[in-house]
Amino acid sequence: MFESSLKQLGDALRAKQISSVELTQSYLDRMAQLNPELNAFITINPEMSLAQAEAADARLAAGTAEALTGIPIAQKDIFCAKDWLTTCGSKMLHNFVSPYDAHVISQFNNAGAINLGKTNMDEFAMGSSNETSYYGAVKNPWDTARVPGGSSGGTAAAVAARLCAAATGTDTGGSIRQPAALCGISGLKPTYGVCSRYGMIAFASSLDQAGPMGRSAEDLALMMNVMAGFDERDSTSLQRDKEDYTRDLNKPLTGLRIGLPKEFFAAGMGADVAKAIEAAIAEYKKLGATIVDISLPNSKLSVPVYYVLAPAEASSNLSRFDGVRYGYRAPEYGDLADMYEKSRAQGFGAEVQRRIMIGTYVLSHGYYDAYYIKAQRIRRQIAQDFVAAYKQCDVIMGPTSPSTAFKLGEKGDDPVQMYLSDIYTIAVNLAGLPGMSIPCGFGNNNMPVGLQIIGNYFDEARMLNVAHQYQLATDWHSRAPQGI
């Protein structure tokens, strides 16, 4: 049952082979057994999950169930969920019980899915290893001495260890795709504006996007059917017709043009990663695709551009955490300014403070033109590179991450090394494009390798088709960590 797809689980529930309460309880039992070591969840609340499961069973009995009704789905702790502790991985929100649901959460609730718990994450989604979480590092289920990636590392570890049927993530610079790659699962960051950001705690608003993480492209498509859609409470939510993201899954790939950016295949990628990516491209040729060499000349600037723009937006977004209305407040302080200062100094971890300082600096008078405005200009050029590339190809492929999962603590004292983990993913966020990662083999130490598929705007259904056809022909996505 822990290996069943979302479709199989939905069929079993509707055929009354299993009840949602039974299914939810089996996942809760598995979590109780495996989560203490993996630390994939910040909050588990069996009572609330089981109450939802009972309601789902009533709906199943009444015959009004939808595709995901009764299926246990975990939620990244960045999504506000009514009556659930919502921490965003930070001491700053260690006591924040959300009074409302994020749009994505209410979509899952309306679909009758079960909230199985809130997954661990890097503090305020800043990180690539899950080590910045106030709630401790998450372990990679393939090797518990290694990181799961970040910032959606709790979600990736939970899905890989079969602690939930699927889960949500968010991606500002790679936080869905990179942990998906490092944990051997599938993940999709949709086109900016496709999933509402309402109730998703903001990091860098012009880049943040929610998306599904699961064991197969088919599962991601079913999740997208629930998560995507217009929401008037998010001013950047796009008003588009409802889509069925499963509609193209079974189309053949004959004639598909795959662009390989020469900049992605240059120095920097591990030899083990390169080997797995080349084998995946060879498989796509067998499936009928043709290869086109392309160039994204400005993509090499994406990491420096991101580390100006994302901290700038974060410094503004995080100014709301002041110890006044909710969240952490320093126990002892003098006047009001001292209360702000102490609460923020004690409530935020080192990486978050570093980003607030960088962001405040690049937005300050005298430096704004030199850094922020310049970065915005290059951001536009990075996006234009993709527009030009899509005149020659239908999808772009390359590695998701330059290496497989590294050891816990390995990059802890070197932020720049950590930032380079997202060298292949960040350009996609800067351009607002959809990107996904699917498992395509194993590298050194038998750790999973992820293949990145980048689509044109709103091409999610086609990308899911491209991923699904590969998953029909290979079995990397169904491999499970040993001993789990």
Return the active site residues. Answer: 76, 151, 175
**Taking CB under 6 A as the rule, does residue 314 contact ligand GLN?**
no
Task: Name which of 125 and 449 has its Cβ closer to ligand GLN.
Answer: 125
Task: Name which of 435 and 455 has its Cβ closer to ligand GLN.
Answer: 435
**Taking CB under 6 A as the rule, does residue 309 contact ligand GLN?**
no
**Taking CB under 6 A as the rule, does residue 219 contact ligand GLN?**
no
How many residues would you count in the chain? 484
- Min. distance of Cβ 279 from ligand GLN in angstroms? 27
- Identified binder of ligand GLN from the candidate list 128, 302, 465, 469, rule CB under 6 A: 128
Are the C-beta atoms of 56 and 148 separated by less than 8 Å?
no
Matching residue, tokens 């199989």: 8
Taking the C-alpha atoms of residue 3 and residue 25, their distance in angstroms, rounded to an integer, is 16
Task: Name which of 77 and 422 has its Cβ closer to ligand GLN.
Answer: 422
- Identified binder of ligand GLN from the candidate list 48, 74, 92, 126, rule CB under 6 A: 126
Taking the C-alpha atoms of residue 156 and residue 214, their distance in angstroms, rounded to an integer, is 8
* 170, β-bridge pairs: 210
Burial 402-424 (b: 16+ CB within 10 A, else e): bbbbbebebbeeeeeebbbbbbb
Distance from CA of residue 336 to its chain's centroid?
37
- Min. distance of Cβ 170 from ligand GLN in angstroms? 6
**Taking CB under 6 A as the rule, does residue 439 contact ligand GLN?**
no
Candidate ranges 33-41, 124-132, 292-300, 330-338; the one touching ligand GLN (CB under 6 A): 124-132
**Taking CB under 6 A as the rule, does residue 147 contact ligand GLN?**
no
Per-residue x/- mask for ligand GLN, residues 403 to 422, rule CB under 6 A?
-------------------x
**Taking CB under 6 A as the rule, does residue 398 contact ligand GLN?**
no
Per-residue x/- mask for ligand GLN, residues 150 to 189, rule CB under 6 A?
-x-------------------xxxxx--------------
Are the C-beta atoms of 86 and 79 separated by less than 8 Å?
yes
Please, what is the angle between helix 271-286 and helix 460-473, to 10°? 90
**Taking CB under 6 A as the rule, does residue 141 contact ligand GLN?**
no
Q: Where does 228-373 have alpha helices with state H? A: 271-286, 302-317, 336-347, 350-362
DSSP for 394-422 reads SEEEEESSSSSPPBTTTTTT-HHHHHGGG
380, 384, 386, 388: CA torsion to nearest 10: 180
Task: Name which of 429 and 469 has its Cβ closer to ligand GLN.
Answer: 429
The token pair that represents 287 in the structure block: 């499936």
Binding residues vs ligand GLN (CB under 6 A) = 125-128, 151, 171-175, 203, 310, 422
